[in-house]
Structure 1
Amino acid sequence: MTTHLTKRLFVLSTILGIFLFLPRITLAAPVQLYANSGAIFAQAANPVKYSTSITEINLTPQQRQQLQAVRQRRNREINAVLNSSQRAQLAQKLRSGNNIYQALETLKLQSNQQDLVNAIVQFTNLKMKEISGI
């Protein structure tokens, strides 16, 4: 009986020690991807140069998954800005082998649409750089 109590106290004290001496594990929080979104949209008036995609060399599976989620969100946001004929043109350009940036440059966007797309692309590029550690 005494050995069971001793074992339990040892395990309990070990767990307590781990929580007290390694607070980063217990206080871990998810990364905030949208922390500076207000500042990014304020800079959207500047023309955005569409960058090539970030190389995924030496990325962890989690980083690759995060990049995929960022790209999917970018595509949804851009589709929300475009009208139906522009969406069809974009889809046709993508099917013909153009990447998203090349396809966007060929669309005839109104100035407000261009500003929104530039802001979306700029914000996405910053998030992708943050994730990939560039």
Structure 2
Amino acid sequence: MFKILLFICAVSAVNCEIVRTAITLPPEIAFDIAKAIKEVCVPEDRVPDIIRMIREGETNNNTEFKKIIHCVIKEAKYMTADGKRINVEKAASIFPNKVLMFKILSQCDKNIVTNDPEEYCIKFYDCFQENTPYRLSF
């Protein structure tokens, strides 16, 4: 009986979406990201939609969304000095479990092969959404 129950639990865990913990960013980080979204990267009429998409972890590989994600990451100063990749150490530092996030984000970074910063950022964002136990709350 125990083996059957264990099997059902395992199948359920595989077939169900992982529950992600919503985290509220520290005010100074949230401010930088909100400023990038509202003042620089997103047309005013699209701000609510983009915030909702990020909050809900939606992914969208259309050109507009790629440009927005890249712009937000760049304006919030999470790109490396050369502007080509995300500063994984800095990005991981905003999460409760920094060690786990560094490992996950490093793996995301290693798996992306492109020289296009917008393409890199959207792939990194998608990897983040697929692999982390957190979702960002604004």
TM-score normalised to structure 2 length? 0.29
Q: Which has the higher strand share?
A: 2
Instruction: Indicate the structure (1 or 2) with the bigger Cα radius of gyration.
Output: 1
Greater relative contact order (Cα 8 A, min sep 6): structure 1 or 2? Answer: 1
